[in-house]
Amino acid sequence: MAHLFDSNVFLRLAQKNSPQRSVVLDAVRKLRSQNEIIYYTPQVLAEFWNVCTRPTSARGGFGLTAEQTARKAGLVQKHFRLLPDNRATFDEWLRLVVDNQIMGVSVHDAKLAASMIVHNIRYLVTFNEKDFRRFPMIRVINPSNI
């Protein structure tokens, strides 16, 4: 069974001092030991880049340089598999936001759900389980529950 990791999971992995880093590392090890595939999407990497390069004075920013962030993003690309966007993911995203009247920042969550639906990925690993409850077609898992 394939799993999509949300950006917040990769962000914990990138922070050496995060108390949740060990939880994520354990989840990765467990999934890999079961030969599970772990995916990310272009959006996940864009959100990862955003937080990494955001100033520390801004909400949740890591304050890294573009070069430091590129190294961290390169590790995501090296060790995890890209789930590409395509016309079908766009069409599914549009259907989800229209049918569910999704507005504001939640449109990004719908984009991940759309990618999962199109690519038949059932499991989303995230620390923000509540953000995805509106999508019954995917199963949301906190990394600590893997």
Compute and round to an integer the Cα radius of gyration of the chain. 15
Q: Is the pLDDT of residue 90 over 90?
A: yes
Please give the average per-residue pLDDT across 22-51, as a whole number: 97
Q: Can you give the pLDDT at residue 103?
A: 95
In the three-class reduction of DSSP (H, G, I as helix; E, B as strand; rest coil), residue 117 is classed as helix
Q: Can you give the pLDDT at residue 56?
A: 92
**In angstroms, rounded to a whole number, what is the distance separating the alpha carbons of residues 63 and 50?**
10
- Residue 13: which region, alpha, beta or left (left: phi > 0; alpha: psi -120 to 50)? alpha
Kindly indicate the confidence band of residue 1, based on its pLDDT and cuts at 50, 70 and 90: confident
Please give the average per-residue pLDDT across 83-94, as a whole number: 97
Say which residue, 58 or 40, is predicted with more confidence: 40
Q: How buried is 24 (Cβ within 10 angstroms: 0-12 exposed, 13-18 middle, 19+ buried)?
A: buried
Q: Which two tokens stand for residue 30?
A: 């467990």
What's the whole-model pTM score? 0.94
Q: Is the pLDDT of residue 122 over 90?
A: yes
Q: Indicate the CATH number for domain 3-40+84-145.
A: 3.40.50.1010
Mean pLDDT over each residue of the chain, to the nearest integer: 96
Q: Can you give the pLDDT at residue 11?
A: 97
Model confidence pLDDT, tens digit, residues 49-60: 999 999 999 888
Instruction: Provide the 10 A C-beta neighbour count for residue 30.
Output: 12
Model confidence pLDDT, tens digit, residues 104-121: 999 999 999 999 999 999
**In angstroms, rounded to a whole number, what is the distance separating the alpha carbons of residues 34 and 1?**
9
